[in-house]
Amino acid sequence: MWLQKWSPNFKPEEDLPVAPTWVLRSGLPFHMHTWNYVKQILSSVGTPLVLDAASYGRTRPSMSKIRMEVNLLKPLSESVFIGQEYDDSPPDGYTQKLEYEGIPKYCKHCRKLGHNVIECRALEKKIATNAEEVQDKSKEHQTKNKATGKKEDHNNKIEKMRLILRRIRNQQRVNTLYRQKLKILRRKR
Ligand SMILES: [Zn+2]
């Protein structure tokens, strides 16, 4: 557990994504194993908190180790450039590799410490419910289509009946005309 400064964005149900982790810098020149150098070198990566006992006591020349607050929502820098950068000439310095130890797990979905997104049950549940909803919607869509299909069938049948009726009526008209003509012809005889 660690304490953090209060901020206006504080939400009691969420954990801040800023947490302490160990940053290891193997091969850092021994004369740079001091708090002042460390602060300068790592200020772009996070907030330096404290040097570990060996770094503070300068008893482990191979590596410097520091406790730092980092933002777990951002990708952690794999290296930093140590040296001078000039506008008109190439930079003079070297790239220092950074390694991390004990990075706390942080879930970007729940915004909580203790597990990461891959292990998140809440997200798993959400994805499952979403998939079910999509399935339900497509089923609904299908039944709707079936219903409109039936309606279309019905309409087609009515249209066909109308056509048949029209043909019959036309036939009847022809028949009456024919009969009338016959009558006239008979009269003329
Ligand atoms: Zn989660």
pTM of the model: 0.60
Alpha carbons 11 and 58: distance in angstroms, whole number: 41
> In Å, what is the CA distance from 66 to each residue of 21, 31, 177, 184?
8, 15, 111, 121
Residue spans of alpha helices (H) in the chain: 35-42, 53-57, 121-188
Centroid of ligand 1 to alpha carbon of 16 (angstroms): 14
Centroid of ligand 1 to alpha carbon of 119 (angstroms): 7
Centroid of ligand 1 to alpha carbon of 158 (angstroms): 58
162 φ, ψ (degrees, to nearest 5): -60, -45
Centroid of ligand 1 to alpha carbon of 118 (angstroms): 8
Centroid of ligand 1 to alpha carbon of 105 (angstroms): 10
Tens-binned pLDDT, residue by residue, of the chain (189 aa): 566 666 777 778 888 888 899 999 898 889 888 999 889 889 889 999 999 999 999 999 999 999 999 999 999 999 999 888 888 888 889 999 999 999 999 999 999 999 999 999 999 999 999 988 888 888 888 887 777 777 788 888 888 888 877 887 777 777 777 777 777 777 766
